[in-house]
Amino acid sequence: MKFEIITIFPEFFRGPLDHGIVRRAREAGLAEVQVHDLRAFAHDRHRTVDDRPFGGGEGMVLKPEPIFECVERLGVAPQAERSAARESVIVLSAQGSRFEQKAAAELAALERVILICGRYEGVDERVGEHLADRELSIGDYVLSGGELGAAVILDAAVRLIPGALGNEASSQQESFTLRDRLAAGDGPSSTCASGGLLDYPHYTRPAEFRGMAVPEVLVSGNHEEIRRWRRRTALEKTVRNRPDLLKQAGLSLEDRELLAEIAARRV
């Protein structure tokens, strides 16, 4: 899989690309990442990539010419053919749709992703309308530029590439990971599958630390009780921190019974 990042600050990515799973995936040949300096595609003496917005207003806007030229120079397929070519061009923007685990999985299934990092007041709208396939935002807040967002999207997608993680099951056992909806009466397909919920609490050695003990069920050896505890605590954490996730989660009959128990205790 190949990622290409277009930015006015290419040196920003020296850190994110050289650590952790992204570095290991690159070294293993599972992912290739190239960073392109947008200013290299500006042809005036000052390598200008921004200008004042039409209609007035504060700040500056990234110009369309260098962005279009850069993407076209990369030989990306035309918009209408990108789905078949398994390519995507994305603008990082505060006005974009919110980036979630589902989108990370979609990107990980592609062969090539181009990430355009917005700056200043944003990017000329013609880039989003006529060049990019979508706009993405990593959250409901405003950053100084799209570089941090691009690094987040890169990491989230790379770790889902087959072979990138040491344990392939890990990516299926995390917060937000959706699985097929469960038939009525079925339990979770694994002791850890989140099913679109937040992950359950984790503990490790020592079993007691400063008077704080690990829940007894986790050291009991009773796998069924451990499974049920993990599911119940995942539901509890989701209800407490992200109740909105319950609407899209694949809830089983057991899940609904556990939710009823949780609600009864909260009264």
Tell me the per-residue pLDDT of 85-121, one tens digit each, with 9 for 90 and over: 999 999 999 999 999 999 999 999 999 999 999 998 8
Question: What is the rounded average pLDDT of the residues 23-28?
Answer: 95
3-state helix, strand, coil in the chain (%, to 5): 40, 15, 40
Rounded Cα gap, residues 110 and 1, in angstroms: 7
The neighbour count for residue 20, using CB atoms within 10 Å, is: 12
Banded model confidence at residue 245, pLDDT cuts 50, 70, 90: very high
Residue 13: C-alpha distances to residues 58, 204, 237, 243 (Å): 28, 33, 34, 35
The domains found in the chain, sorted by start residue, are 2-158 (3.40.1280.10), 173-266 (1.10.1270.20)
Rounded Cα gap, residues 62 and 227, in angstroms: 51
Banded model confidence at residue 186, pLDDT cuts 50, 70, 90: very low
Both tokens of residue 151? 């690094």
DSSP per position, 162-174: TTSSSSGGGGGSS
Banded model confidence at residue 189, pLDDT cuts 50, 70, 90: very low
Q: What is the mean pLDDT of the chain?
A: 90
Does residue 152 contact residue 115 with C-beta atoms inside 8 Å?
no
Percentage of the chain exceeding pLDDT 90: 82
pLDDT of amino acid 184 = 40
Rounded Cα gap, residues 38 and 47, in angstroms: 9
Q: Name the pTM for this structure.
A: 0.85
Question: What is the rounded average pLDDT of the residues 179-186?
Answer: 42
In this predicted structure, which of 13-17, 37-41, 114-118 has the lowest mean pLDDT?
13-17
| Residue 180 confidence (pLDDT) above 60 | no
Helix (H) or strand (E) holding 51: strand 50-51
pLDDT of amino acid 218 = 96
Question: What is the rounded average pLDDT of the residues 251-258?
Answer: 95
Length of the chain: 267
Strands 112-117 and 32-37: unpaired
